[in-house]
Structure 1
Amino acid sequence: MRITQRTKRYSLLTLLILLVVIAFPIIHLLRTKWRETDNHRVLPARHVDDASALNLTRVDTIIAIPKDRSAIENQLRQILHYANTEGLKIALAGARHSMGGHTMYPGGIVINMLPYNHMQLDTVNNILSIGSGALWSDAIHYLDHYGKSIAVMQAFSSFSVGGSLSVNGHGWQKNSPPLASSVLSFTLMNARGQVLLCSRDENTELFHHVLGGYGLFGIILDVKLKVVDNQSLKYHYVNLAPENYTKYYKKYILDNPKVDLVFGRLRVSKKHFLAEATLNYFEQTEEPPIQLFRQEKKIEETKRLIFRGSVNSEYGKRLRWDLETSSAIPARHLTFTRNEIMDSQVSLIENKDTTSTDLLHEYFIPERNFMNFIQDIKPILLKSKLDLLNITIRAVNRDHDAYLNYAREDVFGFVLLFNQKKTALQETDMHSLTNLLVDAAIKNEGTYYLPYRLHIAKDKMRKVYPQAGSFFRTKIKYDPSELFNNKFYRHYK
């Protein structure tokens, strides 16, 4: 068969087009990497900050508690005595992923709980005893050796157990209330140095106020958590219109007893903005789970660059959406373990640009107003000058445990991630945007999450959380000198 000049030219043109198609995203990711400063931020002496990188605060003392369980109570009592003698306030810190100064008080003492990370599993009753400073990632790897897994946990495993209890984080486990539902009990050192056992049967008022209590009632020490079996899970993916999300959620998730983990995502590129969605879920399989291993650094870095390449880039946002949706097709044939999926590090989306920061919002909306909320926030987000990077959707069942609860009925949580420049102008823009989004949540009978920036006024917060006044009065009841304190408390009290 003779190859004509026309055929050769066509083949060459096709090859060139293919090279351009492949080369352009690679060049985009390389440019993303090149622009990063990757300068490690060093804080001044006696200063602390949190994940927002906007809360630099001078404090009196930063104290890391001992790892030894027998020594911790004695040292903490000494710290309490020192604080009372010197008239200082105490703030508690773990991995510092809250964003509103929840882990600091100006001129106060910061207690770093991370060293207190012991773990012990009761294999008969499936109960994990764990120090409040432990990271979830460490707990996952510990449990993996026993074929067990955390029952309820947020999407990233980089947070501390005590921090997650203090904000009452929620996960993406099917039919699950927030994290408080998996807590059997915990010990708490109060302002007088007493160690109390708190559960649904003992010191119940403290139990309900400490969970989601933002470190205002005392120091969480030892926690007992429910654990479940680790399992092999197969990934499934559905592309859909947002208006069909709740209908498909019932069909593919609620009516499917095999589903274990599930999340949704909305498209945030200007093209098809909030007009496309995905439903991603993992079904139980009969395959025995293999032992957990950590992802290769090269794979993690590629994923991170794809995410970071979407910052202030319409092309990057489209590329990320296309890659995620196209890669979902072959991923349908893959099997993962529950622990492997849950051991996801926040480093996968790490921002290495020192001139900007990534800020989270979350709004909890009842199913009846799901689409109304999307329609209400769409013009707000399009008009905003802040760069929206991501919207994830997670279902959260009603919370019967935390007093300051955000899920007072079954809701869908809309998790929004923004990139903000560290300028006064963009901080003002974020303040305005946050209030508009909270107003949209209120209009749709929803709530907003409290671990983030303190841009909502006290009166509006109490409209969303009518139990707040009683919550703060109970705080005074147990801590009349307001020894345990932070910027969150100062703002909303």
Structure 2
Amino acid sequence: MKKKHLWTIGLLTIFIFLSIPIFHILKTKWNEKDLIIQIPKGFTNDASQLNLTKVDTIIQVPNDKREIEIQLKDVLKYAKENNLKISIAGAKHSMGGHTMYPNGIMLNMLPYNQMELDTINNILTIGAGSLWENALEYLNKYDKSIAIMQAFSSFSIGGSISVNGHGWQKDLPPIAASVVSFTLMKENGEIINCSRQENPELFKLVIGGYGLFGIVLDVKLKVVENEALQYKYIRLSPENYLTYYKKYISENPNVNLVFGRLRISDKHFLEEATLNFFEKADVEIPVLQNGKSKETQRLVFRGSVNSEYGKRLRWDLETGMNKVSKNEIYSRNELLNDHVSLIENKDSSSTDLLQEYFIPERNFNQFIRDMKPILKNSKIDLLNITIRGVHQDNDSYLNYARENVFGFVILFNQKKTNKQEAEMKKLTNLLVDIALKNNGTYYLPYRLHIDKDKMRKSYPNADRFFQLKLKYDPTELFNNKFYEHYK
């Protein structure tokens, strides 16, 4: 009788143990509301949801090459005659007002999305408004893939060039390295070609130039082969990350894609890490899977917001799934084709905000040690820290990778209150301070919480950058909140 009682208690314990995660995920779903945030007519916003701005006009550009050139020249003329500024927008994932100017004209470039592949030279010509997901689907028909792109495919090509985004492709520079050339409409309506040979100064200024030098129209990008890739992962201590990275990534010619992740739950905070990588596999390339539901994965992620249990659950589930999916085969294009909706926040009272810090290898461990108490004591909810290797960039003027660095990509959830905004500003400045202490820098596409002086410590050539802005655009026709904050 006693043994039977113990069995009953044991089974009940197992049932409860298995039920708690399911209940937590279901509770996350029940508490969500499929709210569509309506932007009032005559206003615009960006991914931060903290930059609601009244504008004079929002102009949708056409898809046709000839039509867009005619339209944009008319827009430039109208703006000058009416003393209006022009900002340029794509998917609007920059978070500091980079795509808007108060009472100005905003160009929505998304409709300009045509593309054509040169199969002999492996160069894709693509409209600046096209999204990376469209490019991947197009290239997949030719067994080709994007050379360098960010972790999510829901950004626009023009937007990624304007921030000079970096990817998780193994040991490569930012996107600039894959840009062969682009056409640019200047403030006088002239269309020129920019490359490392033609107009090289403008080439360097526009890449990572946040739309301040003209309108990027057509971009020529290097493409690579689509490949079958096999998933591998290692669970390790952050102190050993560099040693394992060198052995399993840098010295392994078969690695194609790679990222690291730090544990962020209070239990073992920044004391555990995973190194996730994908090796070339000599098998048939899997068919590109579109439209697969990843709602459970999203709910596990959202369930970690303001929840220590949720953060532990996510870590345990992800590391557990790593064991299950180890050695699984994917196509390169499928791995690159993740949409930002994978982590979508449906809570209208809060927003998810990114920050990124680029740290030289020699200071990698010290930066984690310096970061730990700052993040631990912050009142802002930390959701994720991903690590990506970024090699030296020799192409962009506002260069954040002046040597080989590791990018710490940090995601927070912030309430839309003045108090939390002040807390975020305080936190950001503390993190920038330790980045500078460790000979690193911070990334510019995010909230404008850093002042001009500290920005110039991070980007020593910023003064010259803004001088050249006036050389190429003396009336400051192309303008946005980023420029007004830092110039």
TM-score > 0.5, shorter chain as reference: yes
Distance 2:7 2:193 in 1: 75
One-letter amino acid matched to 2:27: R
Conserved 8 A contact 1:144-1:291: no
Distance 1:79 1:176 in 2: 38
Q: 1:418 aligns with which of 401, 412, 434?
A: 412
- Post-superposition shift, 1:38? 2.1
> What are the within-5 Å matches in structure 2 for residues 436-475 of structure 1?
436-475=430-469
- Post-superposition shift, 1:296? 2.2
Conserved 8 A contact 1:198-1:204: yes
Distance 1:204 1:46 in 2: 37
- Of residues 187-196 and 30-39 in structure 1, the stretch that sits farther from structure 2 once superposed is 30-39
Distance 2:211 2:147 in 1: 23
Q: Partner residue of 2:19? A: 23
SS of residue matched to 1:224: strand
One-letter amino acid matched to 1:354: S
Q: 1:185 aligns with which of 168, 172, 181?
A: 181
SS of residue matched to 1:290: coil
Which whole-Å deviations, capped at 9, do the CAs of 1:150-184 have from their partners, x for residues lacking one? 00000000000000000000000012000000000
Distance 2:399 2:7 in 1: 63
| 1:353 and 2:358 matched | no
- Post-superposition shift, 1:39? 1.1
Q: Partner residue of 2:76? A: 80
Conserved 8 A contact 1:386-1:419: yes
| 1:435 and 2:425 matched | no
Q: 2:253 aligns with which of 252, 257, 260?
A: 257
Distance 1:112 1:153 in 2: 21
Q: 2:310 aligns with which of 316, 319, 337?
A: 316
| 1:109 and 2:113 matched | no
Q: 2:197 aligns with which of 196, 201, 225?
A: 201
Q: 1:397 aligns with which of 391, 404, 409?
A: 391
- Post-superposition shift, 1:99? 0.1
SS of residue matched to 2:397: coil
Q: Partner residue of 1:55? A: 51
| 1:342 and 2:342 matched | no
Distance 2:324 2:83 in 1: 61
Conserved 8 A contact 1:38-1:354: no
> What are the within-5 Å matches in structure 2 for residues 38-437 of structure 1?
38-297=34-293, 300-437=294-431
- Post-superposition shift, 1:36? 1.4
Distance 2:228 2:4 in 1: 50
- Of residues 285-294 and 355-364 in structure 1, the stretch that sits farther from structure 2 once superposed is 285-294
Conserved 8 A contact 2:286-2:329: no
Conserved 8 A contact 1:145-1:291: no
Distance 1:217 1:401 in 2: 16
Which whole-Å deviations, capped at 9, do the CAs of 1:33-87 have from their partners, x for residues lacking one? 1111221011111100000000000000000000111211000000000000000
Conserved 8 A contact 1:188-1:198: yes
One-letter amino acid matched to 1:224: K
Question: Is there any run of 5+ residues in structure 1 with no aligned partner, and where?
Answer: none
Which whole-Å deviations, capped at 9, do the CAs of 1:400-428 have from their partners, x for residues lacking one? 00011100000000011000000000000
Distance 1:193 1:464 in 2: 33
Instruction: Report the TM-score when normalising by structure 1.
Output: 0.98
Distance 2:101 2:351 in 1: 21
- Post-superposition shift, 1:7? 4.1
Conserved 8 A contact 1:232-1:285: yes
Which whole-Å deviations, capped at 9, do the CAs of 1:366-421 have from their partners, x for residues lacking one? 00000100111111111110000000000000000001110000000001100000
Distance 1:31 1:270 in 2: 22
Instruction: Report the TM-score when normalising by structure 2.
Output: 0.99
Distance 2:46 2:269 in 1: 31
- Post-superposition shift, 1:204? 0.5
SS of residue matched to 2:351: strand
- Of residues 8-17 and 210-219 in structure 1, the stretch that sits farther from structure 2 once superposed is 8-17
Distance 2:62 2:472 in 1: 26
- Post-superposition shift, 1:291? 2.4
- Post-superposition shift, 1:295? 4.2
One-letter amino acid matched to 1:64: Q
Conserved 8 A contact 1:363-1:414: yes
One-letter amino acid matched to 2:299: L
Question: Is there any run of 5+ residues in structure 2 with no aligned partner, and where?
Answer: none
Distance 1:329 1:36 in 2: 30
Distance 2:226 2:479 in 1: 38
* Root-mean-square deviation over aligned CA pairs: 0.7
Distance 1:476 1:281 in 2: 44
One-letter amino acid matched to 1:239: R
Distance 1:392 1:76 in 2: 39
One-letter amino acid matched to 2:172: S
One-letter amino acid matched to 1:377: M
- Post-superposition shift, 1:6? 4.0
Which whole-Å deviations, capped at 9, do the CAs of 1:259-304 have from their partners, x for residues lacking one? 000000000000000010110000000112122121422xx11010
Distance 1:86 1:291 in 2: 52
Which whole-Å deviations, capped at 9, do the CAs of 1:8-42 have from their partners, x for residues lacking one? 33332222122111110111111111111221011
One-letter amino acid matched to 1:422: K
One-letter amino acid matched to 1:466: P
Distance 2:368 2:286 in 1: 40
Distance 1:306 1:112 in 2: 34
Conserved 8 A contact 1:366-1:412: yes
Distance 1:71 1:295 in 2: 33
